[in-house]
Amino acid sequence: MSRKPGPTSHTDTTSLENFLRPIVEQFGCDLEAADITPAGRRRLLRVLVDRDGGISLDDIAEVTRAISKALDADDIMGEGAYTLEVSSPGVDRPLTLPRHWRRNISRLVAVTLTDDTKLTGRIKSASEEAAELDVDGTRQSVAYADVAKAKIQIEFNRTAGNDETETPADGTVEEN
């Protein structure tokens, strides 16, 4: 006896991402991830969105409303209860796509290459194939195909967007 396929599986993240992507793209955002996890009797649907220039809380609220409305109108989540959580990725997200590198230009990044070489440098530019880093004053091109792992380094003493050398805390200034 053959059974007619039922609604999309509650844990089929590929179908869920395909469903959510056009909704998120309406707002000029990229769908970074969608994940469903059990949370007691409910399920938790976590959706990560981002865009060039960053995403505000108001943007997140708009995307959340649109996703919620679309999920209510469709049976992709099935009959069970779920909680929807929409947010942007944190700074600890690995850089895995060219847009991740582009969105972090001027930030410090720790990179492990596929040959186990480790680099730490500031992202100066990013294309679809590679990023250019300033590693200790030397520009170095890093092809994404050669990257095993890359993560932004958190800098507590650096002013956002400031690429200039900072004055030391003791007030001394180095002259050339």
pLDDT of residue 156: 85
Give the confidence band of 52 by pLDDT, cuts at 50, 70, 90. Answer: confident
* 99, 30 contact by CB (below 8 A): yes
pTM greater than 0.85: no
pLDDT digits (tens, 9 = 90+) for 58-103: 999 999 999 999 999 998 888 889 999 999 988 888 999 999 999 9
Residues 6+ apart with CB under 8 A from 9: 15
pLDDT of residue 80: 84
Q: Which of 115, 114, 126 is nearest to 152 (CA)?
A: 126
pLDDT digits (tens, 9 = 90+) for 8-40: 334 578 999 999 999 999 999 999 999 999 988
Rounded CA-CA distance 156/137 in Å is 21
Residue of higher predicted confidence among 52 and 175: 52
| HSE-CB of 81 using CA atoms within 13 angstroms | 4
Q: Which of 72, 48, 59, 73 is nearest to 26 (CA)?
A: 59
Share above pLDDT 70 across residues of the chain, in percent, rounded to a whole number: 83
